[in-house]
């Protein structure tokens, strides 16, 4: 498996297929997928030997105070083999993110144990998640 930091058009299409297989991104269009990849400062993909995308995550950041990790996803047939951890380690150790004070992400409660070994906690004081939907 190989980590990549730039997705080609076929890999973006594959990412869209991965999104469609998830409950949280199944309504995204291919154009929205292209836009979110283009609008993210850091994208990390994981490919097999043929360049086929099997995992992905992206980061939106100011490179100083905050880095928001989004869309951590691994193809269902590759889950449980350490590929998600490999992607998270690549984010946490990315040289462009060395100065970032806080890494943040959203996850379901049952996924918290996956992120805890990387130093994530849900103990963030009295902060509330707020959202404005369109």
Active site residues: 115
Name the helix (H) or strand (E) containing 33.
helix 30-38
Give the whole-angstrom CA distance, residue 14 versus residue 125. 38
CB contact set of 68 (below 8 Å; sequence gap of 6+): 59, 60, 61, 103, 104, 105
């Amino acid at each position: 498996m190989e980590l990549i930091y730039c997705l080609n058009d076929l890999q973006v299409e594959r990412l869209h297929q991965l999104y469609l297989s998830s409950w949280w991104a199944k309504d995204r269009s291919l154009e929205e997928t292209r836009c979110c990849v283009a609008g993210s400062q850091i994208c990390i993909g994981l490919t097999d030997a043929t360049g086929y995308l099997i995992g992905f995550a992206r980061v939106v950041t100011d490179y100083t105070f905050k880095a928001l990790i989004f869309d951590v996803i691994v193809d269902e047939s590759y889950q449980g083999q350490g590929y998600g951890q490999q992607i998270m380690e690549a984010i946490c150790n990315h040289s462009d993110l060395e100065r970032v004070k806080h890494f943040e992400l959203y996850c379901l409660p049952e996924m918290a144990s996956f992120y805890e070994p990387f130093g994530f906690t849900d103990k963030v004081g009295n902060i509330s998640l707020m959202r404005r939907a369109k």
